[in-house]
Structure 1
Amino acid sequence: MAKSGSSKQRLRPIVRLGIILISRSFVVSVFCCAAGVVALLLLPILANNTYVSENALMPGSANSMLSNQDVADAYKLVKELGDLRLKSNNVDVESQRLVARYISELGADVNYHEFNPGLTKFSPLKFFSSPDFGISQDDNNCSANGVNIIGIVRAPQGDGKESIVLVTPYDSSNARFTDYLSLGIAYSVFSLLSQVTWLAKDVVWLVADSRYGEYSSVSSWLQDYHAPVFYSRGTGHSSLCNDTLLLHGGTKNNAIMDKWCSSDGLRRGGTMSAAFVLKVADDSEPFQDTLKIYAEASNGQMPNLDLVNIVNYLAIHRQGLHVEVRKFFSLSDAKWLEFLGKVFEWVGMVARTLNPQWKFGIPTADYVDGTATLASSLYHQALGIPTGSHGAFRDYQVDAVTLEFSLTRYSMNRGSKDFIMRESIWKGGSLLAVSSGSLLHIRGHCFWLIEGVVRSVNNLLEKFHHSFFLYLLTSPGKFVSVGIYMIPFALLVAPLPVVAAALYTEANNSATSTEGDQLSSQNAWENDYTISKTSWTWLKAAKEVMIVHLWAAAVTLFPYYICEIPNWSPVGRLALWGLLSTAFLGLFFWLLGSPSASNRTGKEYVALLKSVTISAAFIGLDLMSVVNFATAEFGALLLVPMCLMVQPIQLDLKVRRLRNLLRVGFNLVLGLLGFLPVTFYMIKGIFDDFDDLKLDDFWHWLESLWAWNSATYLFLGMVHLPCWLLCLRILFHS
């Protein structure tokens, strides 16, 4: 007896703590889940002000050098492009030749890049990699459809090993006035940079042919930029070279041929330090110039926060622009969110009365706006789809953002088309034109901002690394770091291993104890600490979980073959996918054998099945948090309550108490919401409009996920779907 008592007291504190947590798994689950949701709602309050971590950036340390001549040349380019569209029939080639001529006149290197836009196609082997949108300079297909124009200013103070990239999307066949403005803004800054003496990094200006999509043109250029292809004349690229010469002006002498076709024809700068995509939005703000920043890339990747910080700092403190990031405006009008903000504001006031140093709580308006922005940041990271062509750079570990200018519109008397064009340039922050042909005033909001950002990056001595790569934005000037936003996720998934261990222990102790000798969970752990090694029945539950996960992997690959069927509507493909999934589920259980409880009662087997299911969900959520945290966060909000609360309906209906009936209702609601099409249509209806829902929207959404090789698609197919099906299996177990 003494020996038994001494061995019992030798248990380590960590083991004793585990025993206590497992014996009180219900309390732990309720506390952790509630704390995780509250912590998630507190993130806008816990957000920190942004700051520039890298001192070498020195934003705003120099005055602008933009001259009247740079702006006037930009106006001439925009004016000629507008006139060309009205006069020329071959506007595509002529406009590209015109832009190239302007770049060449600056003394910069000018280059054409031809590419095939290709077709997006589901490829299960390309997840976690960049989407293959373009196949450029292919030996077997020289009929390129898109042509990018590249201008390179060589840095007088540099060694050619680093570069800064400016990107301007331009649809030459269907150019809008905003496209001309984008070109004008970028050209004026490029013109200035071709003359300065302080430049230490090459500046590459990419006029991206966006006829086939902004992303595909940039992605194709980056692919060839980082993986050059060398060839010589007569090797199957005569078509490419002839097209390039046609754009260059039709000259076909040997010197030009050697210049353009002796290699892959693509001029390069150094290693890219940063990239900026410059756009002018179609909409306009009635009172102030607005800058919108887009930063999300594929699979939730974000650029270094310092890049966003210098843009935000210069735009607000130097140029007086109103800076915005994406947010859900539907949440901005939510009454429950406003009420929650008032509660947190009141708690903060009470805390400050107790101790003035406690700085908890923010104004209600700031909380609502911060929550709407945080939800948008989480949502777009969770999708895993880039919010602009800047995402192509992040696939090559280059920090990049898209800067979109929404310009102030003033009511003025427009006397002619010529005046409208000059007025639009003035709205871009560059020129003020008041009559025929006279330029009387120069402003520089957009131009000075881009110049200042390029100058800051030019000061950088190394790659961005001082600030955060893992963060969520609650406003352009506030962020939540990884050390804070991981807390809600950790609290949400913490109950999963505890409950899984408790269920396994309960089932094991029920099988080894005699009838009428039922012990409490804690006493069972303390008295029966050494678990019987002869009990291997849990492998049958593990077998069923494995079968379901194998089925889910097959279902995830079905679109690869369904997309090969020509002339099928999205609704038809979605229906075929559902039929194949159902048929294969029965086939898997028939081939691998349907598990049975054998010598165990149904209640014991259900406990083991739930334990293994929860363990699989825990592993899947943890792995996904490494790849894309936002996806794991949304997945935890759906899967954790569903896995923890699920219990056979038959057991609750036998008792027929209010608590049991409520649990049945919650389980049915969670099971319905866990079904992916229902979840999709509910979210789309809440944030958009239920009247605009279409049956094929779900298929188009999934197509967008696998076309962009989003890891979210793998999570939905190989983690969420099998866990949902196993929960239904437990729910309707008899």
Structure 2
Amino acid sequence: MSKMAKSGSPMKKPRPLVRIVLLLMSHRVIVSFLCFIAGVIALLLLPILAKNTYISENALMPGSANPMLSTQDVLDAEKLVDELMSLSLQSDDAGIEISRMLLKSVGDLSAEVSQFQFYPQANKFHPLQFFSSHFNDPDQENRTCISPSVSTVGIVRAPHGDGKEAIILVTPYNPLKLDAGEALSLGVAYSVFSLLTKVTWLAKDIVWLAADSRYGEHESVDAWLSEYYAPTFHRSGKSHINLCSGSNYHQVTENLAVGAEPLESFRRAGTMAAALVIKVVNGSKDSQDSLSIYAEASNGQMPNLDLINVVNYLAVHRHSLHVRVGKFWSLLESECLKMIGGTIEFLGNVVRSLNPQWGFGIPVSEYVEGTATLASSLYAQALGVPTGSHGAFRDYQIDAVTLVISPKASPYNLGKRSEFLLRSGRLVEGVIRSVNNLLEKFHQSFFLYLLTGSSKFVSVGIYMIAFALLIAPLPVVAASLYSDAVTSQPESDMVECSESSSSAALSISCGSWRWLYAAKSVFVIHIWAVVVALLPYLICEIPNITSRTCSISWILLSLFTLHIFYNVFGSPYSSVHSSYPHNEEWAILKSVMIAAAFTGVSLMSVVNFAAAEIGALLLVPFCLMAQPLKLDMGNSNVKSLARIACNMVCVLCLFPPFTFFVMKGLSEGFSCFDIGEFWTWVESLWLWNSATYLYVVLVHLPCWVLCTHLLLHPC
């Protein structure tokens, strides 16, 4: 009994915050269950909580002015389309002739015109260039015999501007295989550009980039932007042309003669206020012309919502286009979602019967479609891979979207071409006119949001609630497990520890250092994960290797290196130190593992919130339920059997390749699977410098391995 107790003085109560924490820790099971269920429910309610989009920046004023694009501009664009299509049917020199025609056509409009050439880049995984350079610069000798890509750039200087801001219009096309859709997209841009050379209301420069996409749409735009903002001073390929032979020499010489000017004559406008990427694809399945908006950029970055709102408003209310955004089509037929939507609709009707002013619930069809769109938006952001060449602009903090226009008639239908060019051109004109009204960059509306429809969104202030509820149990369970493990230390261990100390306080602290053994095991697994993240660099060096072989090699090498780490540093089972031979060591290991997973998911939420949200939805249940199977097998009750079944399902479903195929099946439909597709997906992540690659390998994979070890722990 302490001196305070002997004197009869009352024990000092802990502070209210400490008492709340202790209460949560003592009821960690029910708290974890309620928080996770609440997080899942919050995710399912997001389509109901979505708001209608609105224009935050009043200066945009979409649709306030009548369109000025005339039929004469459309006729000139039609003439250009016909000439481009006729050139595409000619010989192998069609690419050079198309570049020449674009150069001449833009020059005839009295605009500044130039051409920019770049060479294909070697897309290889390099750990030292992750997050620093999207493309690796190839050897000079390897690119001299490769035909360069030649993009045409036209600039209209604003008569009422100071040259400090610009609006970018991009039309990617492949000159070696020009189709009708690409020719029409060039025609749409040409008609608008022709109009803008004559208007007097421009306050921002207009730049039209006809991007040669023979080596990729994103690559051509990214190369031009890199030269625009960070010019590189290297020797021209002209000095090495004599190394090429035969037709290669002739082709490179012709390309340089097209007008690909030297670096000193690279033309620039002002700071880019916004960018529009225009693409025309084959006929729409709808009864009217449709417009698809793609906005996701690298690592889940999105343009300012006002830009999407302007495009949607003009397309729907001014030009009668059917606006579409991405959605998981497989979810539209989900009976589970229909049942949830029916329940929500029923509850909404009950609530409105009690008070008509209480708006709650939406129709089943609207809920299912909103959920499918929300899932697609969340998945596209979580991947961290741009959904179009607009992603190159977002890397420079420029708001950009890709507008994919689908005419209801075939692009080859000459009778409907004029009407389509007029409608599409006026849409682009209206968007440019709205952005031209801005006095500053987009900043009024949201940058962090999820779309549930073309005119509905969920802001970060709403969907972060679900993320907070999902990860809230992790620190509570980690602290509770560690506290229980330390306080349950056997008296024999405490005596042994206290014999080497001079006070009782040191004996307690001696027992508290037991977490270091578990921390060492968790640290070793994460170091192994770093090695796994670097293995693709070695695998890519193997010549003539297929995607399937790469996937299998990566998995086998990962298992082999894990075996080596076990032999060198010891497995997680070695945390059962000889001085503490009791059954609570697995709890300390789980506590440290949960703390590491919580830290990793929290850090990922700063880089890519969507990826962190999906990661929390997948990892948190496994982290909370994982415990040695030996303990559950000793109890034959329903609770233990259910936990064993859930843990086995998590072991299978959370294995990264299996998780990939499940997500791919939900987004694209379940069909025959090839293990090589997993390598292709991972390769795309690191080539685009997506932080999702680091999350999967450095957070998800170590957590899955440690949870699996917990299940097999010989407690």
Q: Normalization by structure 1: what TM-score?
A: 0.89
2:342 counterpart of 1:342 = yes
Match of 2:65 in 1: 62
Match of 1:423 in 2: 415
Q: Distance in 2 between matches of 1:175 and 1:529?
A: 80
Q: Which of 499, 516, 521 in structure 2 is aligned with 1:539?
A: 516
Counterpart secondary structure, 2:713: coil
Match of 1:274 in 2: 274
Residues 34 and 302 of structure 1, relative CA distance in 2, 3 Å threshold? same
Q: Distance in 1 between matches of 2:78 and 2:445?
A: 38
Match of 2:663 in 1: 683
Q: Distance in 1 between matches of 2:448 and 2:318?
A: 27
Q: Is the Cα contact below 8 Å between 1:128 and 1:709 reproduced in 2?
A: yes
Deviation of 1:244 after TM superposition, in Å, equals: 9.3
Q: Which of 588, 599, 604 in structure 2 is aligned with 1:608?
A: 588
Match of 2:385 in 1: 385
Q: Which of 539, 542, 546 in structure 2 is aligned with 1:565?
A: 542
Give 1:216's aligned amino acid.
Answer: E
Q: Is the Cα contact below 8 Å between 2:39 and 2:469 reproduced in 1?
A: yes
Matches within 5 A, 1:584-733: 584-594=561-571, 595-597=574-576, 598-733=578-713
C-alpha distance after superposition, 1:85-136 (max 9, x if no partner): 3345511111110011010000111111110111211122333456217779
* Identity level (%): 54
C-alpha distance after superposition, 1:680-728 (max 9, x if no partner): 2233334434433112111111111111111111101000101100001
Matches within 5 A, 1:288-437: 288-409=288-409, 422-426=414-418, 429-430=420-421
Q: Is the Cα contact below 8 Å between 2:549 and 2:676 reproduced in 1?
A: no
Match of 2:224 in 1: 221
Q: Normalization by structure 2: what TM-score?
A: 0.92
Q: Distance in 2 between matches of 1:268 and 1:237?
A: 28
Q: Is the Cα contact below 8 Å between 2:85 and 2:179 reproduced in 1?
A: no
Q: Distance in 1 between matches of 2:172 and 2:464?
A: 37
Match of 1:90 in 2: 93
Q: Distance in 1 between matches of 2:598 and 2:282?
A: 45
Q: Distance in 1 between matches of 2:505 and 2:445?
A: 48
Match of 1:180 in 2: 183
Q: Which of 548, 553, 568 in structure 2 is aligned with 1:576?
A: 553
Match of 2:501 in 1: none
Q: Which of 429, 449, 452 in structure 2 is aligned with 1:474?
A: 452
Q: Is the Cα contact below 8 Å between 1:136 and 1:224 reproduced in 2?
A: no
Gaps of 5+ in 2: 494-503
Q: Distance in 2 between matches of 1:726 and 1:643?
A: 9
**Which of structure 1's runs of 4+ aligned residues deviate more than 6 A?**
133-140, 231-235, 237-245, 528-531
Deviation of 1:142 after TM superposition, in Å, equals: 8.2
Residues 234 and 85 of structure 1, relative CA distance in 2, 3 Å threshold? closer
Deviation of 1:662 after TM superposition, in Å, equals: 1.3
Q: Is the Cα contact below 8 Å between 2:87 and 2:98 reproduced in 1?
A: yes
Moved more, 86-95 or 100-109: 86-95
Match of 1:39 in 2: 42
Match of 1:123 in 2: 126
Q: Is the Cα contact below 8 Å between 2:109 and 2:197 reproduced in 1?
A: yes
Q: Distance in 2 between matches of 1:136 and 1:392?
A: 23
Match of 2:470 in 1: 492
Q: Distance in 1 between matches of 2:373 and 2:487?
A: 49
C-alpha distance after superposition, 1:243-291 (max 9, x if no partner): 89945867xxxxx99xx43x43311111110000000112423411111
Match of 1:199 in 2: 202
Give 2:522's aligned amino acid.
Answer: V
Q: Distance in 2 between matches of 1:529 and 1:465?
A: 57
Deviation of 1:364 after TM superposition, in Å, equals: 1.1
Q: Distance in 2 between matches of 1:706 and 1:554?
A: 15
Q: Distance in 2 between matches of 1:685 and 1:246?
A: 47
Q: Distance in 2 between matches of 1:701 and 1:565?
A: 19
Q: Is the Cα contact below 8 Å between 1:139 and 1:237 reproduced in 2?
A: no
C-alpha distance after superposition, 1:498-547 (max 9, x if no partner): 000000011001105689xxxxxxxxxxxx99993222111101110011
C-alpha distance after superposition, 1:447-482 (max 9, x if no partner): 111000000111111111111110000001110000
Give 1:565's aligned amino acid.
Answer: I
Q: Distance in 2 between matches of 1:509 and 1:558?
A: 42
Q: Distance in 2 between matches of 1:45 and 1:512?
A: 53
Q: Distance in 2 between matches of 1:138 and 1:480?
A: 51
Counterpart secondary structure, 2:264: coil
Give 2:315's aligned amino acid.
Answer: A
Give 2:538's aligned amino acid.
Answer: Y
Match of 1:211 in 2: 214
Moved more, 649-658 or 367-376: 649-658
Match of 1:435 in 2: none
Q: Which of 475, 480, 483 in structure 2 is aligned with 1:502?
A: 480
Q: Is the Cα contact below 8 Å between 1:133 and 1:216 reproduced in 2?
A: no
Residues 643 and 139 of structure 1, relative CA distance in 2, 3 Å threshold? closer
Q: Distance in 1 between matches of 2:85 and 2:3?
A: 97
Q: Distance in 2 between matches of 1:688 and 1:301?
A: 23
C-alpha distance after superposition, 1:119-178 (max 9, x if no partner): 211122333456217779999858552111111111111111110000001111111111
Give 2:520's aligned amino acid.
Answer: K
Match of 2:499 in 1: none
Q: Is the Cα contact below 8 Å between 1:114 and 1:136 reproduced in 2?
A: no
Gaps of 5+ in 1: 251-255, 411-418, 431-443, 516-527
Moved more, 235-244 or 595-604: 235-244
Residues 556 and 245 of structure 1, relative CA distance in 2, 3 Å threshold? closer
Counterpart secondary structure, 2:510: coil
C-alpha distance after superposition, 1:578-617 (max 9, x if no partner): 2221121122222224434122245210000000010001
Give 2:544's aligned amino acid.
Answer: N
The number of residues matched between the two structures is: 692
Q: Is the Cα contact below 8 Å between 1:74 and 1:185 reproduced in 2?
A: yes
Counterpart secondary structure, 1:547: helix
Q: Distance in 2 between matches of 1:464 and 1:134?
A: 33
Deviation of 1:655 after TM superposition, in Å, equals: 1.4
